[in-house]
Structure 1
């Protein structure tokens, strides 16, 4: 089972240095409150380090991934994911099997842009952010690494 990272952009475009903008484009996070799911690797970790003041990330569990996938829509028809859509497009029998295959690393969500609208668009967190978005999470802020607590943020943003 591979470790999946949920990455959410929490700051906007204004005043962003060009090299951070390029990194955010590579991570496919062009706008505020966009989210993507990647497998944990050294190249992704390097990009996270560069774009750290503009994003927050952590390890996704199965519940957090299911919540994120509820916001995923098809490219053709703008439909939410159902078992019928998964059978016709990806030849996967059920939604739960789709989630399991993503968690196991058999399917990479960021490579399914032919079928789904990526990045995943989220709402601002209900109740707002608990800290300042220009401080690290470790110092009662919001940006940077937050571990398993990313799932709580996703729950508030879906």
Structure 2
């Protein structure tokens, strides 16, 4: 059962090298504070994360944060909010039942990939973090900044950005 990586773009579009910009486009991170979710065993993902590590942060998302994220920021095609009724109606053909909790469980178990679903937008548009960033947005997480791999502490950041 692979972990799910939550990947958030922290820095904006100014002065981004072309190769990093292309990588961010492949990850669907077009704007600041956009977030995507990918399984950690996705082919080529680790290389893309390393290439864009100076513009993004990522870590493993847990079940509670994923459910809250899908409820508050999940969008369907047509930019309508994601609801339990929508999940039961349109995702039952994928074997997903139980509303948003069932979708979150299926995502964490690796039964389905969010970016493969046609009816749910794969990008979550988040707010800037409440209380601001606690550290520099130009330094790696392990070096006293906000960028790069942060492990399970991504959940705290996501909750502040919902």
Provide the C-alpha distance between the structure 2 equivalents of 1:39 and 1:115, rounded to a whole number of angstroms. Answer: 19
Runs of at least 4 residues off by over 2 Å: none
CA distance in 1, matches of 2:123, 2:36: 6
User: What SS is found at the alignment partner of 1:52?
Assistant: coil
Q: Distance in 2 between matches of 1:135 and 1:141?
A: 4
- Which residue number corresponds to residue 153 of structure 2? 149
Q: CA RMSD, aligned part only? A: 1.1
Deviation of the 1:67 alpha carbon: 2.4
| Structure 2: distance between partners of 1:87 and 1:142 | 37
Determine the C-alpha separation between the residues in 2 that align with 1:54 and 1:72. Answer: 23
Normalized against structure 2, the TM-score is what? 0.92
Within 5 A, what are the aligned runs for 1:103-122? 103-112=108-117, 114-122=118-126
1:82, distance to aligned residue in structure 2 (A): 1.7
TM-score (ref. length: structure 1): 0.94
CA contact (8 A) 1:72 1:120 kept: yes
User: What is the CA deviation profile of residues 93-152 of structure 1, one whole-angstrom value per residue up to 9, with x for unaligned ones?
Assistant: 32211111011001101112x212231100000000000100111111000010000000
Q: Could you tell me how far apart the structure 1 residues matched to 2:121 and 2:114 are?
A: 11
| Separation in structure 2 between the aligned mates of residue 67 and residue 14 of structure 1, nearest angstrom | 31
Q: 1:62 is matched with which residue?
A: 63
1:44-83 superposed matches below 5 A? 44-70=45-71, 71-76=73-78, 78-83=79-84
In structure 2, the residue matched to 1:13 is 13
Indicate the larger mover: 67-76 or 22-31. Answer: 67-76
Contact 1:4–1:39 (Cα < 8 Å) also in 2: yes
State the alpha-carbon separation in 1 of the partners of residues 2 and 121 from structure 2.
23
- Structure 1 stretches of 5 or more lacking a match? none
- Distance in 1 between residues matched to 2:130 and 2:105, nearest whole Å: 28
Say how many residue pairs are matched.
Answer: 156
